[in-house]
Chain A
Amino acid sequence: GQQLNQSPQSMFIQEGEDVSMNCTSSSIFNTWLWYKQEPGEGPVLLIALYKAGELTSNGRLTAQFGITRKDSFLNISASIPSDVGIYFCAGRVQGGSEKLVFGKGTKLTVNP
């Protein structure tokens, strides 16, 4: 089936550093969603993007819907220990159904 390439697979950073991760696909998307999952919990929606070029922030998090409509980026500024978790991208293919395609996640570890 459809796949999203999410990178990096994992990141180990120091508290205070900025973080960048991205998702790419060979297909054109009309929706990009970014989720965070903490151990033992369900994915929690962070940011939703619906328009090419859109840049949306949620506190220290900023995500962008790529101009080509085949990629999306998530940045976290000034990381803190509670940013630890797995971050997933997900998207809806243009002309496709309601089904979401998910990346395999970026595992973030923040050292205090």
Chain B
Amino acid sequence: NAGVTQTPKFQVLKTGQSMTLQCAQDMNHEYMSWYRQDPGMGLRLIHYSVGAGITDQGEVPNGYNVSRSTTEDFPLRLLSAAPSQTSVYFCASSYFGYEQYFGPGTRLTVT
């Protein structure tokens, strides 16, 4: 099992550019989620999904879109990047009611 994989590992964008952060898991987990981690703020939930075709907003969803067409993949789209979106992004997955496993993260800088 590869677990939770994320690509790219690093990314630099200019303000206004768009991009997609990829997340995949091979554990057949129903639940997947995206977090951002900023210094002193801990982990904040952006969007989550309880299964293919079902997504919902977390604590800080503005400026991000998600979709879940398969159980394995849960991409995060930045529509028009802003410097405030400079952060480290983590994807996580779990079976319902059980422990969440995290990917290695994507470090994004928006200039």
Q: Which residues of A contact B (CB under 8 A)?
A: 1, 31, 33, 35, 40-45, 48, 88, 90, 92, 98-100, 102-105
Q: Assign chain B's interface to a size class.
A: 20 to 34
Enumerate chain A residues within 8 angstroms of B101, measured Cβ to Cβ. Answer: 45
With the chains together, A102 CA to B90 CA distance in Å? 14
B82 within 8 A of A: no
B residues near A41, Cβ cutoff 8 Å: 104-105
Using Cβ atoms and an 8 Å threshold, which residues of chain B touch A33?
99-100
Write the chain B residue with the least CB distance to A46: B99
Q: A1-B59, A45-B99 are in contact. Are A88 and B43 (CB under 8 A)?
A: yes
Q: In the assembled complex, how far is the CB of residue B93 from the closest CB belonging to chain A, in whole angstroms? A: 11
In the complex, the answer to whether A103 meets B42 with C-beta atoms within 8 Å is yes
Task: Please name the 10 residue pairs, one residue from A and one from B, whose CB atoms are nearest each other, closest first.
Answer: A42-B102, A104-B42, A48-B99, A102-B43, A43-B102, A42-B104, A98-B31, A42-B105, A102-B42, A45-B99
Question: For residues 92 through 111 of chain B, which have their beta carbon under 8 Å from a beta carbon of chain A?
Answer: 94, 96-105
Across the interface, A98 reaches (CB within 8 A) one of B40, B97, B102, namely: B97
- CB proximity of B81 to chain A, nearest CB, Å: 22
Nearest CB on A from B78, distance (A): 19
Chain B 21-35 near chain A by CB (<8 Å), digits 1 or 0: 000000000010100
